[in-house]
Amino acid sequence: MLVSVYRYNPETDDAPYMQDIHIEIPGGKDIMVLDLLQLLKEKDTSMTFRRSCREGVCGSDGMNMNGKNGLACITALSQVVVKDKLVLRPLPGLPVIRDLVVDMSQFYRQYEKVKPFLINDTPPPAIERLQTPEDRAELDGLYECILCACCSTACPSFWWNPDKFIGPSGLLQAYRFLADTRDTARDQRLSELDDPFSVFRCHGIMNCVSVCPKGLNPTKAIGKIRNMLLQRAT
């Protein structure tokens, strides 16, 4: 099969380029894209990408495979290869450090903005802060995010305003703490989101939902934040 990989080494290359590599898959098996990258790296050790757990838990190997973001380690070739060809690019919109490795600083800065930790100014109880099973269930579909950045880098609003729009991933986390009954900073959190960019740059095109490798729904969470802002203001 033919693999076209985005290559860029700022120390030696003037500009990024696409490198076409023909490769035979051993035994013709349906391997994962990450395994394919490993094979490519055996051929050319300068091939650079991030990876760690190789089972869709760490979120290190988010990349753009034939035009769609996803985790290379849990995406089988049969899911993405079209006409025996695969185009691999780094996550769109973020600065490229080298080959498929992007600089995630902007993404993390947005994550940091939503204060992704529990804020509670009441004295801590002796053992722990309890929740009812129903209250705890509110956090399902929110806490599972692994911060792979597949969603935010698939979002045009994040591409155009990555410094002001929090992005689907950050907003999913924002709602995770807004929905937490143990958190006492809801009003302050909402105040920080009520500007024309942080939340309201989402136009609901749902690219985030279609690419999330964990099957989460940031658009729904953003809708709930909007409703909270609306309820607070009326």
User: Which residues of this chain interact with other proteins, rule CB under 8 A?
Assistant: 156-157, 160-161, 164, 193-201, 226, 229-230, 233
Shortest distance, position 224 Cβ to other proteins, whole Å: 14
HSE, CB side, 13 Å, CA atoms: give it for residue 215: 2
Q: Are 49 and 61 in contact (CB under 8 A)?
A: yes
143 or 200: whose CB is closer to other proteins? 200
143 or 159: whose CB is closer to other proteins? 159
Shortest distance, position 208 Cβ to other proteins, whole Å: 17
80 or 92: whose CB is closer to other proteins? 92
Shortest distance, position 194 Cβ to other proteins, whole Å: 5
Shortest distance, position 206 Cβ to other proteins, whole Å: 17
Q: Are 89 and 99 in contact (CB under 8 A)?
A: no
HSE, CB side, 13 Å, CA atoms: give it for residue 10: 7
7 or 201: whose CB is closer to other proteins? 201
CA distance 98 to 111: 23
Q: Could you give the C-alpha distances from 150 to 64, 65, 91, 181, in angstroms and in order? A: 8, 11, 7, 28
Shortest distance, position 112 Cβ to other proteins, whole Å: 20
**DSSP one-letter code for 23:** -
In 3D space, the residue among 194, 111, 201 whose CA is nearest the CA of residue 157 turns out to be 201
Shortest distance, position 177 Cβ to other proteins, whole Å: 19
Residues 192-202: b if buried by 16+ CB within 10 A, e if exposed = bbeeeebbbbb
Q: Which two tokens stand for residue 90?
A: 């780094």
17 or 197: whose CB is closer to other proteins? 197
79 or 192: whose CB is closer to other proteins? 192
